[in-house]
Structure 1
Amino acid sequence: MGLFWGLIIGALAGWIAGNLMKGQGFGLLGNIAVGLVGGFLGGVVFRLLGLAATGLIGSLIMSVLGAVLLIFIVGKVARR
C-alpha cells in the first residue's frame, strides 16, 4: 500500500510542480518521476533545514517543494 500512495503522491506532486514552474504537466510517467525525485530532494532539503513532514499532506508538500526545486535546477543547467 505504501508504494501505491508513493506513486499517487509522486504523480500529484509532479503535476502541481509542472503547473507551477512552466504551466503544464509532464504526462503521467513524467509527473511520477519528477514527483518521486522531488520527494527525495525535498526530504534531503527538509532534513538539512531541521524540518519534518509527516502524514499525507506533509509528504505532498515536501514532494511539491522538492519537485519545484528539481525543475528549477534542471532548467538552469539545461540553459547552459
Structure 2
Amino acid sequence: MPISDGEMVKVEKGRVVKIGKDVVSPEEAHGEFIGLAKFTKSAADAMRAAYHRVMEEHPTAPFQCAVSLEKAYMTDMIHELV
C-alpha cells in the first residue's frame, strides 16, 4: 500500500496530536496507525461518550475525515478525542 493511503500519526512530547488519513502529511508523520491500539478504561470511557455525543448531536453529518460517523475509521474517533 502506498504511504499516501496510510493513516499517519503525529506525536509531540510523547502524545498523539494528530492521527488519520489526510490529516497528517507523510513529511510530518512519526508513524502509521496499523489498526492495533490499547486503551485505558478512562480513554475507552471517553471514546464511548464521544461516540454517543456525536450520534445524538449530528448522526448523519460529516465526522472528522469521514462522510458520517457510521462510515468513520477508528482514527477519526481518536482524532475527535485529541
**Fold similarity call, TM over 0.5:** no
The structure where strand makes up a greater share of residues is 2
Greater RCO structure (CA 8 Å; 6+ sep): 1
Q: TM-score, normalised by structure 1?
A: 0.31
TM-score, normalisation: structure 2: 0.31
